[in-house]
Amino acid sequence: KNQVEQSPQSLIILEGKNCTLQCNYTVSPFSNLRWYKQDTGRGPVSLTIMTFSENTKSNGRYTATLDADTKQSSLHITASQLSDSASYICVVSALGSYIPTFGRGTSLIVHP
Amino acid sequence: NAGVTQTPKFQVLKTGQSMTLQCAQDMNHEYMSWYRQDPGMGLRLIHYSVGAGITDQGEVPNGYNVSRSTTEDFPLRLLSAAPSQTSVYFCASSPRRGDSNQPQHFGDGTRLSIL
């Protein structure tokens, strides 16, 4: 069964600090991995998309990495801001599938 | 360019009632989908469509119907509401099918409570 596991479940950091969120998956055959940011009361917004051949992709202060061999991804947030407080969702798609597999998300709280 | 628009934003129903959640996108996207989001769980796919006139079931289709008569609209129908269908429903669209290397654009959700 395809699964996506995210850790930690929740995280509290101080403004200006860096943090890293983890995503492990068992989806096969792999097509792509996406990270989304979901603010409270809003729909998810795409941060990055990575295919098998990509191991790093950045979007401003967000940098995602992918190790397709170990089936792990991370999302690194640099110099966190209060607006980074949100849920971060990892989503993995299999080749030929119309049904992506979503992780449960990591809830990040940034305190001033 | 409004993106993906969902209506209503909030709805309370009684058990057994039916209703339609509306979803419209103005980006000419081929692929549209409906998800539900429950506490402590990842988003789960209910139904999806790869183009006008084509729909198919996702992971949790029971109790829901969809149709896709135009590229822009993808309504979700609850046939006979049950308390287990209390959830937040998200509609999403992308230029091509779900496994393409394109981001999905999500609406802001419909919060549905079934009493």
Per-residue pLDDT reduced to its tens digit, A58-83 = 999 999 999 999 999 999 999 999 99
CA distance A62 to A32: 18
- Facing residue for B107 by CB, picked from A43, A46, A94: A43
Q: Lowest-pLDDT range, A11-20, A91-100, B55-64?
A: A91-100
DSSP A22-49: EEEE--SSEEEEEEEEE-TTS--EEEEE
A1 compared with B24, residue with greater pLDDT:
B24
pLDDT computed for residue A96 by the predictor = 84
Does the distance separating the beta carbons of A98 and B48 come in below 8 Å?
yes
Residue range A12-41, pLDDT digits in tens:
999 999 999 999 999 999 999 999 999 999
Best probe of the A interface among B9, B66, B104, B111, by most A CBs < 10 A, is B104
Contact B49, B66 (CB under 8 A): yes
Does the distance separating the beta carbons of B107 and A104 come in below 8 Å?
no
Structural tokens at position B44: 């789960």
Structural tokens at position A29: 């055959």
- Facing residue for B42 by CB, picked from A31, A43, A102: A102
- Is A83 strand, coil or helix? helix
